[in-house]
Amino acid sequence: MPFTLIRIVLVAACCAVACRHFVHMLQLESYQLPGYRRWMSRNRDRLLKNCVLVGLVGAVLSWYLPVFFSLFITERVRRESVANWVMLALFLAVTVALAVLDLRAPAKKPLVFTRRVRRLYGFIVLLCLAGSAVLSLISLPPYLLYAGNCYIVMGAAAIAQPLEERINGQFFERARKKLEDRPDLIKIGITGSYGKTSTKFVLRDILSQKYRVLATPASFNTPMGLSRVINEQLKSEHQIFIAEMGARHVGDIKELCELVHPKYGLLTSVGPQHLETFGSIENIAGTKYELIEALPKDGVAFFSSDGSYVDRLFAKCEREKYRVGFNPDRQPYMLATDIEVGPQGSRFTLKCADGESLRCRTRLLGKHNIQNIALCAAVARKLGLTMEEIARGVRVIEPIEHRLQLIPGAMTIIDDAFNSNPAGSQEALNVLSGFPGRRIIVTPGMVEQGAKEDELNYAFGTQMVNCVDVAILVGPKHTKPILQGLVDSGFARDDIHVVSELDEASALLRAIGKPGDTVLFENDLPDNYTE
């Protein structure tokens, strides 16, 4: 009896420890069970190897170790006792070894032990204890529990969901009330398939030339992310609050607007980002337009005008509205023209519809960044900034980490590793093509593009041909369409390298790279997408 209890507890503890990896994946999927299930589907082989195998081997050994020890020990009770303790020790050793390997494995975005994770772990421990006890009571080896670790996490998340919704609701309501008590605060919402984060920081830097501005940090673009910023960082001295609004499902932007109630709305783009969850480009467009629909009657909407879906939404908008862009025939409120892009950044002229214009320079690269700057300049102009103040704000904009970030050196690095999408990858290639010397790309391609993912990655491969001299593809399975696109377009096979992971790509780059080369890192898949 004492051994049984000890085994129940220790096996449960081992399984709870082993659940850490799956909790990490759940966190990377924003605690969304549909995304977690998709991750499980993509990683069946890994799950079988790391969990099912350990669980089944443990069960089989627990059955056959007494048979093995019968060769040396004749007394049945003693034989079974020794076998049980040896098996438990082996299981503990394997669990500890795997846990150490997991902890030592480099993570692009490590697991953060938030309060939510700690609460989730409480339910995991309870489920592990219950599972270990039930298996023991029905005379099955509790080691079998290890095979279901990924499902234990999913079950714990499902059980915890009502509690999390209640906690989140209270946190959300506190933030909403805090904003409600600030009728003087100018609230600005920014959304789009891509360019949200860059636009947010550009707008913050420009408006800071005249106002005290609070912008949501990094990718804090969810209800809880915005609520946290409002509750913890919004002060009475702030005059403007800029909220980035992200979405993976229809209705997500509407929920954020119910919190912020912005008067000004910026739509940066509409494209096939997160097609896997949205299902169609029409759903994406409709979700982004939720921001414009939520604006009050005296609200003001700003649109990047050079995309067909954005143009349709502009035509649909019944609020005061302005568009920006590069085409003077579209009569944009803010026109960007005379663009010069080089290794040191960009120079361009901003022309406002009110007749004023000014030459600007920025360290940012890419035509899409100039589009974002023009969008922010339009907002700033409507909020009373002079063109000189706008130009001064443009000059101080810092390149955003992992978004076409220029890193000079013996080899020039263009770090565009944050994520990749069809428009962004094309622009990154355009930027790369303007650099001298040998041009190298390191990329795993695009993800979360739904049924069109292979098609888009194939097109990405064909687009590289005239912009890239050497292609390093990360992930043999995921990059097959890119490889095919390169080959079909006549790219030299000897200049294509396929590696399994980013560390291998970095080692190869050190081996083949030369001074004067320019290297573009385009996308860096998170840990839940690694092969």
In a domain, 502, yes or no: yes
**Residue that finishes a domain, picked among 164, 193, 222:** 164
Whether residue 306 has pLDDT greater than 70: no
pLDDT value of residue 69: 67
The CA-based diameter of the chain, rounded to the nearest angstrom, is 100
Percentage, residues of the chain above pLDDT 70: 94
Residues 127 and 234 in one domain: no
pLDDT at 526: 62
In a domain, 241, yes or no: yes
Phi and psi, residue 186, nearest 5°: -80, 120
- Give this prediction's pTM: 0.77
In a domain, 454, yes or no: yes
Model pLDDT, residue 64: 66
For residue 153, what pLDDT is reported?
A: 95
365 vs 297, more confident: 297
Looking at residue 100, what is its pLDDT?
84
Q: Would you say residue 456 has pLDDT above 70?
A: yes
Rounded distance between C-alpha atoms, residue 38 and residue 29, angstroms: 10
Whether residue 481 contacts residue 466, with contact meaning beta carbons closer than 8 Å, is answered with: no
Picking from 13-22, 180-189, 214-223, 446-455, which range would have the lowest pLDDT averaged per residue? 446-455
Judged by average pLDDT, the poorest of 43-52, 281-290, 460-469 is: 43-52
Residue whose tokens read 């081992």: 14
- Asked if pLDDT for residue 240 goes beyond 90, the answer is yes
| H/E segment holding residue 342 | strand 334-342
Q: Using pLDDT thresholds of 50, 70 and 90, give the confidence band for residue 360.
A: very high
SS3 state of residue 88? helix
Q: What is the pLDDT of residue 221?
A: 86
For residue 83, name the pLDDT band (cuts at 50, 70, 90).
confident
| CA of residue 215 relative to chain centroid, distance | 19
| Rounded average pLDDT over 83-112 | 81
- Cβ atoms 249, 193 nearer than 8 A: no
Phi, psi angles (nearest 5°) of residue 368: -65, -30
Q: Which helix (H) or strand (E) holds 156?
A: helix 149-180
265 against 424, higher pLDDT: 265
Helix H, strand E, coil C: the string for 163-207 is HHHHHHHHHHHHHHHHHHCCCCCEEEEEECCCCHHHHHHHHHHHH
Q: How far apart are CA 504 and CA 527, in angstroms?
A: 15
- pLDDT single digits (tens) 210-239: 999 999 997 788 888 899 999 999 999 999
Residue 32, pLDDT > 60, answer: yes
Please check whether residues 288 and 199 belong to one and the same domain.
yes
Distance, CA of 200 to CA of 216 (rounded, Å): 8
End-to-end C-alpha distance for the chain, whole angstroms: 44
Domain co-membership, 134 together with 264 = no
**Domain boundary residue among 362, 395, 428?**
395
Q: Which H or E run includes 66? A: helix 53-69
Task: Answer whether residue 289 shows pLDDT above 90.
Answer: yes
Identify the pLDDT of residue 400: 76
Nearest CA to 426 out of 382, 463, 373, 378 is that of: 463
Confidence at residue 528, expressed as pLDDT on a 0 to 100 scale = 55
The predicted pLDDT at position 349 comes to 95
Distances (CA, A) of 496 to 114, 173, 419, 474: 42, 53, 22, 11
Q: Under a CB-based contact definition with an 8 Å cutoff, are residues 413 and 519 in contact? A: yes
What is the Cα–Cα distance from 65 to 83, expressed in whole angstroms?
6
Task: Express each pLDDT in 477-524 by its tens digit.
Answer: 889 999 999 999 999 999 999 998 888 888 999 999 999 999 999 987
Co-location of 209 and 239 in the same domain: yes
Of the pLDDT bands very low, low, confident and very high (cuts 50, 70, 90), residue 392 is very high
Whether residue 531 is predicted with pLDDT greater than 70 in this model: the reply is: no
Distance set, CA 286 to CA 209, 251, 290 (Å): 34, 9, 7
Residue 379 belongs to a domain with what CATH number? 3.40.1190.10
CATH (domain of 458): 3.90.190.20
Mean pLDDT of all residues belonging to the chain: 88
Same domain (yes/no): 252, 355 = yes
Identify the pLDDT of residue 279: 76
The CA distance from 484 to 362, in Å, is 37
In a domain, 509, yes or no: yes
- Do 418 and 381 share a structural domain? no
Are 348 and 421 within one domain? no
Look up the domain containing 463 and give its range: 405-529
Q: Where are the alpha helices (DSSP H) in 421-495?
A: 422-433, 453-464, 480-488
Question: Which pLDDT value is given to residue 438?
Answer: 93
Specify if 171 maps to a domain: no
Final residue belonging to a domain, choices 121, 136, 164: 164
* pLDDT tens-place string over residues 161-199: 999 999 999 999 999 999 999 999 999 999 998 888 889
Residue 385's alpha-carbon distances to 209, 382, 389, in angstroms, are 8, 7, 6
Which residue shows structure tokens 């994770």? 117
Does residue 357 share a domain with residue 412? no
Q: Is 60 exceeded by the pLDDT of residue 362?
A: yes
Are residue 238 and residue 355 in the same domain, yes or no? yes
171-174, long-range: CB within 8 Å, 24+ apart, which pairs? 171/224, 171/227, 171/228, 171/231, 172/223, 172/224, 172/227, 172/259, 174/227, 174/231
pLDDT given for residue 10 in this prediction: 92
- Higher-confidence residue: 106 or 196? 196
Please determine, for residue 346, whether its predicted confidence score (pLDDT) is greater than 90: no
What is the mean pLDDT of the segment spanning 32-43? 85
Check whether residue 147 and residue 122 sit in a common domain.
yes
Contacts 24+ apart (CB under 8 A), 277-283: 277/34, 277/35, 277/248, 277/249, 277/448, 278/248, 278/249, 278/250, 278/450, 279/450, 281/309, 283/250
Q: What is the pLDDT of residue 340?
A: 85
- Same domain, residue pair 307 and 352: yes
Task: Decide if 337 is inside a domain.
Answer: yes
CA distance 196 to 204: 12
> Is residue 146 a contact partner of residue 15, using CB atoms and an 8 Å limit?
yes
Sign of the alpha-carbon dihedral angle for 44, 49, 55, 56: positive
Indicate whether 434 pLDDT > 90: no
Specify the number of domains making up the chain: 3
496-499 sheet: strands from edge to edge: 405-407, 412-416, 518-522, 439-443, 470-474, 496-499
Residues whose CB falls within 8 Å of the CB of residue 70, separated by 6 or more in sequence, listed in order: 79
Same domain membership, residue 437 and residue 368? no
User: pLDDT band for position 344 (50/70/90)?
Assistant: confident
